[in-house]
């Protein structure tokens, strides 16, 4: 069997990769476990040195890696460079803070001494998506390595070049052999990999359906999972928002990675009194964004990652329009053997339409009218997802209260687009998954939080 890398900008095959056999997969997992037996005892200072080395490798290779992403999944190179720089930043963050995050915590009891210690658990399987082919992997990999774990990666089948590049950089940075390995396999092999006794935990970023299957399998074997799944982030625009700023932020969030991001803004819930003006500004700013060759530094929106994903998105748009939504820009399939889809805005979106109920994983925005603040909050929370959300208002105290106590999501921002940050925990609730990545909480997900009691 082969994994085929196809350029979504022109439909041409880039390269074919032979998948690993079951025997090769078992050998690689065994090798990684053997590496862990030594790596878990490596001093924190030595781990930090290697993480800083890895950050330097990323910075040196960022243009090359951005080009690889553009070719394999269509990300505009300017965004690709930013993605690699973000990967470098998570390396330097944990190089500085991992020791502090993992230090023993003394607990006063009647014992002579009692404390909590954080111990690595072994080999973690990561099942990662194509949309941020480096950042998603590094978001799991860096805290896992910093905690003394090792990892194997089952990456998305359309980005094998990116998957192998990660393994190459780990080696180039000087990490011990086999602390991280890429498994070139299809999704049909995941269950068997999870069943391997040397796999101690699983993390997945992907669709809710994929997360359910992984959680079910891992749960049957009592293996810890972290799930970062789909999202349909709602951005609330209140009557006192700076509409010019809000429209700019909303367009940028909706078009990040050509709209293919779990935490991209997808539903724009606008209070009725400012809906007309916001929609005008939103349309105006959407029209300024350039769709084109992802290798062109001027391109804002590249092709979607695969033609089948583009076609599925278009079907959601068509079904929404047939149910009463109004398309004010975009919404038409371009000609040619490529995976481009135009930036699209749907207005008059209501419950029961795909644009309201489902995740739109591409450059399509759904504008939903709210009567007032309370109605806007109810509409935002009326979703099976709960990854991120934002609220726009000039009253920051008002916005903070809504973000902190009213919105049902794992990350809620005020007057800003939702984004992940190495310093802050990231993850969702409801159909968007459970567990957290990044920050203090992320490095604690895959450790044995062990109590030590000395009478």
Residue pLDDT, tens place only, 281-340: 999 999 999 999 999 999 999 999 999 999 999 999 999 999 999 999 999 999 888 999
Tokens 């994983």 belong to residue? 361
Tokens 């194509």 belong to residue? 130
CA atoms of 301 and 287, how far apart (whole Å): 11
List pLDDT tens digits, range 78-95: 999 999 999 999 999 999
Q: By C-alpha distance, which of 425, 426, 422 is closest to 228?
A: 426
Q: Are 9 and 293 in contact (CB under 8 A)?
A: yes
- Confidence (pLDDT) at 102: 98
**Looking at residue 402, what DSSP letter applies?**
I
- Confidence (pLDDT) at 447: 98
Confirm whether 262 is a catalytic residue.
yes
List pLDDT tens digits, range 246-283: 999 999 999 999 999 999 999 999 999 999 999 999 99
Q: How many other C-beta atoms lie within 10 A of the C-beta of residue 60?
A: 14
Question: CA separation (Å) from 415 to 71, 389, 402?
Answer: 34, 11, 12
CA atoms of 66 and 64, how far apart (whole Å): 5
Residues written for the chain:
455
pLDDT greater than 90 at residue 44:
yes
- Confidence (pLDDT) at 303: 98
H or E segment to which residue 17 belongs: strand 13-18
List pLDDT tens digits, range 181-190: 999 999 999 9
Name the region of 352 (left: φ>0; alpha: ψ -120 to 50; beta: rest).
Answer: left
- Confidence (pLDDT) at 90: 98
For residues 159-171, average pLDDT: 98
Catalytic residue among 91, 162, 250, 262: 262
Measured at the CA of 418, the angle between CA 268 and CA 393, to 5 degrees, comes to: 60
pLDDT greater than 90 at residue 179:
yes
List pLDDT tens digits, range 117-162: 999 999 999 999 999 999 999 999 999 999 999 999 999 999 999 9
Q: Are 267 and 380 in contact (CB under 8 A)?
A: yes
Mean pLDDT of the chain: 98
- Confidence (pLDDT) at 320: 98
pLDDT band at residue 1 under the 50/70/90 scheme: confident
Measured at the CA of 290, the angle between CA 87 and CA 328, to 5 degrees, comes to: 115
Cα end-to-end span (Å), the chain: 58
What per-residue string of b and e applies to 5-19 under the rule 16 or more CB within 10 Å gives b? bbbbbeeeeeeebeb
H or E segment to which residue 12 belongs: none
- Residue 366 tokens read as 């759904």
User: Residues 6 or more apart from 54 whose CB is under 8 A from it?
Assistant: 88, 91, 142, 169, 170, 173, 175
CA atoms of 389 and 416, how far apart (whole Å): 10
List pLDDT tens digits, range 191-232: 999 999 999 999 999 999 999 999 999 999 999 999 999 999
The 8 Å CB, 24+ separation contacts for 371-378 are 371/271, 371/272, 372/271, 372/272, 373/236, 373/238, 373/271, 373/402, 376/236, 376/238, 376/269, 376/270, 376/271, 377/236, 377/402, 377/406, 377/407
pLDDT greater than 90 at residue 61:
yes
Q: Are 448 and 201 in contact (CB under 8 A)?
A: no
For residues 42-65, average pLDDT: 98
For residues 384-394, average pLDDT: 98
CA atoms of 370 and 100, how far apart (whole Å): 45
CA atoms of 95 and 41, how far apart (whole Å): 16
**Looking at residue 22, what DSSP letter applies?**
H
What 3-state DSSP class applies to 120? strand
- Confidence (pLDDT) at 143: 98
Q: Are 360 and 204 in contact (CB under 8 A)?
A: no
Report all structural domains of the chain as residue ranges with CATH numbers, in order of start: 2-229+429-454 (3.40.605.10), 233-414 (3.40.309.10)
Catalytic residue among 72, 91, 162, 228: 228
Confirm whether 445 is a catalytic residue.
no
Q: What is the percentage of the chain residues whose pLDDT exceeds 70?
A: 100
- Residue 80 tokens read as 């690709």
């Amino acid at each position: 069997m082969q994994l085929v890398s196809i350029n979504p900008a022109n439909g041409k095959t880039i390269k074919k990769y032979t998948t690993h056999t079951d025997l090769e997969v078992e050998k690689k997992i065994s090798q990684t476990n053997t590496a862990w037996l030594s790596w878990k005892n490596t001093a924190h200072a030595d781990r930090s040195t290697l993480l800083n080395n890895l950050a330097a490798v990323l910075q040196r290779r960022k243009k090359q890696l951005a080009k690889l992403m553009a070719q394999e999944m269509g990300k505009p190179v300017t965004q690709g460079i930013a993605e690699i720089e973000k990967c470098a930043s998570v390396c330097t963050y944990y190089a500085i803070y991992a020791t502090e995050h993992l230090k023993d915590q003394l607990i006063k009891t009647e014992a002579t001494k009692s404390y909590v210690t954080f111990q690595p658990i072994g080999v973690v399987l990561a099942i990662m998506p194509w949309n941020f082919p480096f950042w998603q992997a590094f978001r799991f990999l860096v805290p896992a390595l910093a905690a003394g774990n090792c990892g194997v990666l089952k990456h998305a089948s359309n980005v094998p070049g990116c998957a192998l590049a990660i393994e190459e950089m780990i080696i180039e940075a000087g990490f011990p052999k086999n602390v991280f390995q890429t498994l070139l396999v299809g999704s049909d092999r995941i269950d068997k990999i999870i069943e391997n006794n040397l796999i101690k935990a699983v993390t997945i970023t992907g669709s809710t359906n994929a997360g359910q299957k992984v959680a079910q399998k891992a749960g049957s074997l009592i293996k810890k999972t972290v799930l970062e799944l789909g999202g349909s982030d709602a951005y609330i625009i209140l009557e006192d928002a700076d509409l010019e700023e809000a429209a700019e932020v909303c367009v940028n969030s909706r078009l990040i990675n050509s709209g293919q991001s779990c935490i991209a803004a997808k539903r724009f819930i606008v209070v009725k009194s400012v809906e007309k003006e916001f929609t005008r500004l939103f349309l105006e700013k959407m029209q300024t964004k350039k769709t084109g060759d992802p290798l062109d530094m001027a391109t804002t929106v590249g092709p979607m990652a695969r033609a089948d994903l583009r076609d599925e998105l278009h079907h959601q748009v068509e079904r929404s329009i047939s149910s009463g939504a109004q398309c004010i820009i975009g919404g038409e399939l371009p000609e040619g053997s490529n995976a481009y889809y135009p930036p699209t805005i749907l207005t008059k979106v209501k419950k029961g339409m795909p644009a309201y109920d489902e995740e739109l994983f591409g450059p399509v925005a759904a504008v939903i009218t709210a009567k007032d603040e309370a109605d806007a909050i109810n509409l935002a929370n009326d979703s099976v997802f709960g990854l991120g959300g934002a609220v726009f208002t000039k009253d920051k105290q008002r916005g903070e209260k809504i973000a902190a106590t009213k919105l049902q999501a794992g990350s809620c921002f005020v007057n800003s687009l939702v984004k992940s940050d190495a310093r802050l925990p990231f993850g969702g609730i409801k159909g968007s998954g459970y567990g957290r990545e990044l920050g203090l909480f992320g490095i604690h997900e895959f450790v044995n939080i062990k109590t030590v009691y000395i009478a």
